Structure 1
Amino acid sequence: MTQTASAPTTTGSSPRLRRDIGFWGLTFVSLGSIIGSGWLLGALLAAQVAGPASIISWLMAGAFLAVLALVHAELGAAYPVSGGTARFPHIAFGSLAGFTSGWMGWLQAVTIAPIEVEAALSYTNNKLPGLVSTNGTLTMVGLVVASALMLAFTVVNIVGVKLLAETNTVTVLWKTAIPVLTVVVLLLMSFHSSNFHAGGGFAPFGAHGVMAALPAGVVFALQGFEQAIQMGGEARNPQRDISRAVITAMVIGTIIYLMLEVAFIGAINPANLAHGWANPIGKGDFGPYATLATGVGAGWLAALLYIDAVISPAGTGLLYLGTSARLSYALGHNRHLPRRLARVSPRGVPLTSIILAFIVGEIAFLPFPSWQSLVGLVTSATAIMYGFAPVALGALRRVDPDRPRPFRLPAAGVLSPLAFVAANFIVYWSGWEADSKLLVAALIGLVLFGVNYARTPAAERPVLDWRASAWVLPWLGGLAVISKLGQFGGDKVIPFWVDLVVVAAFSLGIYALGARSGMHGAREESVLEDEQAEAGLVTA
């Protein structure tokens, strides 16, 4: 297989996605998604749940997501298509699995853009009151400003992916520099080593607290490595660049977040920890790093942090609006949802899907829960989306063994199942409240899929592939049952530690079933050829 030197914008009269993004553009797309509002709030939320042991939470999240990122790196390089997280399961298992993965991915992506906008306005409200009400919802003025930001994101995405990548590159350089500067300043000006065993010791809430911190902002902060994969159909050299971009962004992001947690804990006034970790910087304070910077006499850093509190979330919102558009594009391309979602404009972008993302984002500005309340739901949806990839990799290694793989996951027979276990742990730790809502959202998605299927002419309907997708329902249903009976917001029927063994054993069983369920024969080849043609690849 060889890549065409420059994929055309059109084939005949049909517009196609433009291939304008290079390695650094892809890297910054992923890194820009990793560094958003999560870095401003993640350390505080993790410390409140786990105390100093939140450092372990970041290490665990980094390890879990690193393995998942490596799985996605192989798939993204071997199958470089837009909306890859929805397309990989479709290639491996067909329509039902592909839709479920894409629907979960779209739900989290389309929600994050307005969440990031609300986070930016909440910070701004500290200096310019009147944008956010006392209960955390937007005022009329705030709604107008939020809508203007969403409209700006939409325009940038409509103009084209090259402008999106260039705009994001400038933003990411800023977004990376400010956290690094914050770490350096806090470590040099205020570091209390005693804080790491204050307020009840290093792990005041035990192992349960360490695990509970992961969905309380830690995983949410580190997620986003897959954004380079979602743009795979628009990369100049996807086989070479996608895997490198994903791995590079994940390593940089994990190091930055780990150092931020260390600097945050060390900079807290020890007197604030006399009564524990409930309010380490002051009750109701929404700008933890700015407060710490002011406390150590670095008012100039606090000013930069308030500026960054707008730039970082806004930059991530810009990216996720584009990402959600690529996912709905993939769902339309696979005929899971109306085909009009896969229409590409003369500029080479999925115009209808971008407009849909804007509309849903506007709806999300209604008086819904706060940033913190939505983190668990988004984290659980993301973990399910991630969880499809290891099973797809196991199946595709078996049914499509001859496909060139520029990056190969080492020890895939071990790491791929472990990656699936890691994704399921994250879903379980998100808690029953988030998981139950996600189950309802999944059912709504299946209803929409059924309606679209019924309205599609019989000759154009996607094959349902019941047999290949048979593992998906037991997986999601079993996770829901374990979550309901478990220790994280459930009925606590399954004892702690035993619940982790149950999740791991259940995950390995589902993985074995799913990896054996990949499609075979002519239909598999036709799907692969369709994906290959859409990606702009030709057979040598």
Structure 2
Amino acid sequence: MAGGVLKQKLGLLDLTLLGIGSMIGSGWLYAALNSAGFAGPLSGYAWALGAVIILLIGLVFAELSASIPRAGGFVRYPNFTHGNLVGFVIGVSALLSYTSTAGVEVEAVRQYALFWWPALGHSDGSPTDLGFIMQIVLLVFFFLLNYWSVNFFGRINTLVTGIKFIVPIIAIITFFGFYKGANMSIPSTHPGGVHGIFSSLTGAGIVFAYLGFRQAVDFASEAKNPQRNVPLAIIFALIASFAIYILLQFAFMGAVPTTLLKTHGWHGLEGVFQSPYADLARSLGLTWLINLILIDAVISPAGTGNIYLAGASRALFAWAKNGHLFKIFGQVDEKSGVPRGALWLSLILAIAWTLPSEFQVWGGLIAAVTSATVFTYMPGPVSAAVFRLRRPDLKRPFKLPAFVLISPLAFIASTLLIYWSGWSVNQLLVPIFVAAWVGYALFGLKEQGLADEIKRSAWLLAYYVGLYVISYLGTYGGIKALGSTTAMVAIVLLALITYFWGIVSAYERPEIPVEADEFDIITEDSNAVVSL
């Protein structure tokens, strides 16, 4: 295993479909209903805002991954620029976010499968023992698809993603045939308005639906011509997914029977439609569409779960490369080109997320998974700015225009998403990251160099503490000691201060280790050539 290398098998189409395949998963099955509950007719603004925020973040990582293609780059870039303490803490957030997402997707498969097999769940939608067994069997199946080779994985995903396009498009066309403009005049009151738009970004699964852009970054070391294809794949996947989701949102809202809507309101529909599109089709008498949606309700999240299990293995592989996991998880099988040790660990952790807990249904996990993922993305703009400032010699096949504006905006946007996820999420996640920071500083660092490590990472600890306090005092599940505007201003100021503090705290010249299973980094004076 130790002699294996990650194999460059994925082309632009493969990378783009990895992104789209990740985005068109359980999100399309639930997010329209949930977003309508939060924001009503304003849900379209939430989808547009979510797309803009994720595009800002994605463009920053497009520059990073084009110049430094690394498997699990989200975990590795902070380690390169700020050292082991920052790298370890971001690895913890990646561990939580990556391994949980596959569990979310199999949960969505099981919930829709209740139509056919009621024994899979209780009356509240939570899984029975048989339901847990089904979820674990699905995860093992994903594991086997990933185990053989990255090329086989890519071909399977291309086929499944092609199928996943068909049913949403049919649903869009069909439901628009029942469109009623009067529905758009009925507002949501839970909470509705601008507050509802912001809340729906994380609470309704909108940002969760877009998070699949990261797959192109995670698989950069296995991409053909990553310097060209990774940035293009990020952009193409986001544009395609936004188009599908915005059409699905309005098709769903316009097709809801007006009498049902007036009786229950947008938020009340969540108690009527447990499997939103299938229940909507049933209320319209579209039996043929119910069966089609139920079939896709297995294919879409299953395909996405398959991708995320593979992505989780690359993140754990990257964490091992940083020196924070046992070496076996940073090794690649020579024959298949798959980091099988990391894949085994991904399977075990994904299964753990499906075990009994208070978050046993799709909606219960979304805000926490989204926030944990954004915590993983958050340091990317800081690392990108550090490389711009202190490694100008790196070739940048994709150089982000207006970087001095977009990079800090991406950091601010990430921070806002975390704040909007609410106090109930942040009071759980932030202490974990603070404990990881303190624990690694006390026990994971050698006494020699400890002061330097703390100096390079103090900004991150201050960021967590500041975010925790503002979230507690704010209006998104907090005690509302700070008004909405005051809290938002405080969050933006916190983001700007820690962004620039993070930049000045980095290594004077970040070094990027070149390893046998990764690409050489091309500098301006390098003779290396990348074929496009």
Aligned counterpart in structure 2 of residue 329 of structure 1, from 313, 317, 321:
317
- Judged with a 3 Å threshold, the aligned counterparts in structure 2 of structure 1 residues 359 and 284 are, in CA distance, closer, same or farther, namely farther
Secondary structure at the aligned position of 2:458 is classed as coil
Matched, 1:142 2:131: yes
Question: Offset of 1:135 from its aligned partner?
Answer: 3.9
Q: Distance in 1 between matches of 2:229 and 2:428?
A: 37
Correspondence for 1:206: 193
**Matches of residues 476-491 of structure 1 in structure 2 within 5 Å?**
476-491=464-479
Q: 1:338 touches 1:452 (CA, 8 Å); kept in 2?
A: no
Aligned counterpart in structure 2 of residue 83 of structure 1, from 64, 72, 85:
72
Question: Offset of 1:276 from its aligned partner?
Answer: 5.4
Question: Offset of 1:383 from its aligned partner?
Answer: 1.4
Matched, 1:252 2:240: yes
Correspondence for 2:408: 417
- Judged with a 3 Å threshold, the aligned counterparts in structure 2 of structure 1 residues 348 and 211 are, in CA distance, closer, same or farther, namely same
Q: Distance in 1 between matches of 2:466 and 2:191?
A: 32
Q: Return the letter of the residue paired with 1:138.
A: P
Secondary structure at the aligned position of 1:345 is classed as coil
Q: Distance in 1 between matches of 2:238 and 2:515?
A: 26
Report Cα offsets for 1:67-89 as digits up to 9, x if no partner: 11111111111110100101111
Name the TM-score, length of structure 2 as normaliser.
Answer: 0.92
Report Cα offsets for 1:467-494 as digits up to 9, x if no partner: 2222111111111111011000111011
- Judged with a 3 Å threshold, the aligned counterparts in structure 2 of structure 1 residues 190 and 462 are, in CA distance, closer, same or farther, namely farther
Q: 1:42 touches 1:218 (CA, 8 Å); kept in 2?
A: yes
Secondary structure at the aligned position of 1:285 is classed as coil
- Judged with a 3 Å threshold, the aligned counterparts in structure 2 of structure 1 residues 444 and 168 are, in CA distance, closer, same or farther, namely farther
Aligned counterpart in structure 2 of residue 97 of structure 1, from 86, 90, 107:
86
Correspondence for 2:10: 21
Q: Distance in 1 between matches of 2:439 and 2:345?
A: 15
Correspondence for 2:162: 173
Question: Offset of 1:161 from its aligned partner?
Answer: 1.1
**Matches of residues 288-299 of structure 1 in structure 2 within 5 Å?**
288-299=276-287
Correspondence for 1:340: 328
Matched, 1:42 2:31: yes
Correspondence for 2:530: none
Extract unaligned runs of 5+ from structure 1: 1-9
Q: 1:47 touches 1:54 (CA, 8 Å); kept in 2?
A: yes
Secondary structure at the aligned position of 1:225 is classed as helix
Correspondence for 2:338: 349
Aligned counterpart in structure 1 of residue 518 of structure 2, from 534, 537, 540:
534
Matched, 1:493 2:481: yes
Q: 2:71 touches 2:219 (CA, 8 Å); kept in 1?
A: yes
Q: Return the letter of the residue paired with 1:195.
A: N
Aligned residues: 520
Correspondence for 2:495: 507
Q: Distance in 2 between matches of 1:195 and 1:513?
A: 48
Report Cα offsets for 1:137-158 as digits up to 9, x if no partner: 3222222222221111111111
Q: Distance in 2 between matches of 1:125 and 1:463?
A: 55
- Judged with a 3 Å threshold, the aligned counterparts in structure 2 of structure 1 residues 88 and 307 are, in CA distance, closer, same or farther, namely same
Report Cα offsets for 1:76-117 as digits up to 9, x if no partner: 111101001011111121112222222212211100111111
Aligned counterpart in structure 1 of residue 308 of structure 2, from 292, 295, 320:
320
- Judged with a 3 Å threshold, the aligned counterparts in structure 2 of structure 1 residues 445 and 132 are, in CA distance, closer, same or farther, namely farther
Aligned counterpart in structure 2 of residue 108 of structure 1, from 80, 97, 112:
97
Q: Distance in 1 between matches of 2:397 and 2:71?
A: 18
Q: Distance in 2 between matches of 1:295 and 1:494?
A: 44
Task: Give runs of ≥4 in structure 1 deviating > 6 Å.
Answer: 461-464
Q: 1:99 touches 1:336 (CA, 8 Å); kept in 2?
A: yes
Q: Distance in 1 between matches of 2:124 and 2:191?
A: 30
- Judged with a 3 Å threshold, the aligned counterparts in structure 2 of structure 1 residues 152 and 190 are, in CA distance, closer, same or farther, namely same
Q: 1:130 touches 1:141 (CA, 8 Å); kept in 2?
A: yes
Q: 1:154 touches 1:321 (CA, 8 Å); kept in 2?
A: yes
Correspondence for 1:5: none
Q: Return the letter of the residue paired with 1:394.
A: A
Q: 1:153 touches 1:317 (CA, 8 Å); kept in 2?
A: yes
Secondary structure at the aligned position of 1:401 is classed as coil
CA RMSD, 1 decimal: 2.3
Question: Offset of 1:420 from its aligned partner?
Answer: 0.6
Give me the identity figure in percent: 34
Q: Return the letter of the residue paired with 2:395.
A: P
Matched, 1:261 2:249: yes
Correspondence for 2:145: 156
Extract unaligned runs of 5+ from structure 2: 528-532
- Judged with a 3 Å threshold, the aligned counterparts in structure 2 of structure 1 residues 103 and 280 are, in CA distance, closer, same or farther, namely same
Q: Return the letter of the residue paired with 2:196.
A: G
Matched, 1:223 2:211: yes
Report Cα offsets for 1:441-477 as digits up to 9, x if no partner: 32454477569837x9x99x99973322221111111
Moved more, 297-306 or 383-392: 297-306
Secondary structure at the aligned position of 1:223 is classed as helix
Report Cα offsets for 1:157-179 as digits up to 9, x if no partner: 11111111111111111112221
- Judged with a 3 Å threshold, the aligned counterparts in structure 2 of structure 1 residues 508 and 279 are, in CA distance, closer, same or farther, namely closer
Q: 1:81 touches 1:232 (CA, 8 Å); kept in 2?
A: yes
Correspondence for 1:307: 295
Report Cα offsets for 1:334-383 as digits up to 9, x if no partner: 10222221121122211111111111122222212122111111111111
Q: Distance in 1 between matches of 2:443 and 2:272?
A: 46
Q: Return the letter of the residue paired with 1:30.
A: G
Name the TM-score, length of structure 1 as normaliser.
Answer: 0.91
Q: 2:16 touches 2:216 (CA, 8 Å); kept in 1?
A: yes
Q: Distance in 2 between matches of 1:462 and 1:42?
A: 45
Q: Return the letter of the residue paired with 1:26.
A: L
Matched, 1:374 2:365: yes
Q: 1:272 touches 1:280 (CA, 8 Å); kept in 2?
A: no
